[in-house]
Amino acid sequence: MSGVRRLLGETLVPAATLVLALLAWEAATWAFRIPRFIMPPPSAILGEGWEWRYRFIEHTWVTLYETLGGFALSMVVGVPLAVLIVYSPRLRGAIYPLIVLTQSVPKIAIAPVLLLVLGFGEIPKMVVAFLVAFFPVVVDTATGLGATPPELLDLSRSYRASALKTFLKVRLPMALPFIFAGAKVAITLSVIGAVVGEFVGSDKGLGYVILSSTSYWKTEVAFSAMILLSLMAIALFAAVSLVERLVCPWLATDEG
């Protein structure tokens, strides 16, 4: 009985709220005769989106590819960078200000320059996504590597274990939950970065679709692309969470 009630509370109530909101939206666009190019009703968004389904597959794929590329770069660069920062105070002094500097420049401002330097195609979008996404990876990984209880480090030292062994068997696994926290932020930021890159200059991708369709007053298509983007971000976030659960099964019961 309580299971049924929980199901009601956790799925049915939000779902019903969403349906009601969509119905209200639909009704409002008809009742107030809002032009479709300003605010299309949900039915038109769905209809037009369905019309575009084959073209959307390609654009979604491009954006997904750029996002995953940027995310992979931010992990491959971010985690080792954090390790360097934690293990070498001198490198910390050298690198940290630079990292903060890259964060202080608005990414949307770097994007045109990057595209100018790196040219057209997916690579510059990946680089923009990487620039947006790698900072939380570095910060969270560094925090995680510093979160090992000092007693465990004393213990490893008293057993005369090498620094590498202590890193692999103690510090890195201890940092994993933090690294995944950074990865979850990074994956959603990568989507934003890829779209920002596409806004600046592209002929493919969901960001490009939003930009081009709005300039042709095809607002429904832009809305469809937005929905696809958020679905993609949700799916990617869920995928990272799933990997986290597989890699860190000992955290599973802490969450639920």
Where along the sequence are the contacts to other proteins (CB under 8 A)?
149, 151-152, 154-161, 165-166, 169-170, 173-174, 176, 248-251, 253-254
**Of 154 and 203, which CB lies nearer to other proteins in the complex structure?**
154
CB of 175 or CB of 196, closer to other proteins: 175
Minimum CB separation of residue 166 from other proteins in Å reads: 8
CB of 155 to other proteins, least distance (A): 5
- Characterize 210-244 residue by residue with b for buried, 16 or more Cβ atoms within 10 angstroms of its Cβ, and e for exposed: bbebeeeebbbbbbbbeebbeebbeebbeebeeeb
Distance CA 256, CA 249 (A): 12
CB of 154 to other proteins, least distance (A): 6
The nearer residue to other proteins, 33 or 151, going by C-beta atoms, is: 151
By C-beta, is 113 or 147 nearer to other proteins?
147
**Least CB distance to other proteins at residue 32 (A):** 56
- CB of residue 161 to other proteins, shortest distance in Å: 4
Q: How far is CA 187 from CA 5, 75, 129, 161, 191, in A?
A: 33, 10, 9, 35, 7
Cβ-Cβ contacts under 8 Å for 42 (sequence gap 6 or more): 22, 25, 26
Q: With respect to other proteins, which residue has the nearer C-beta, 31 or 151?
A: 151
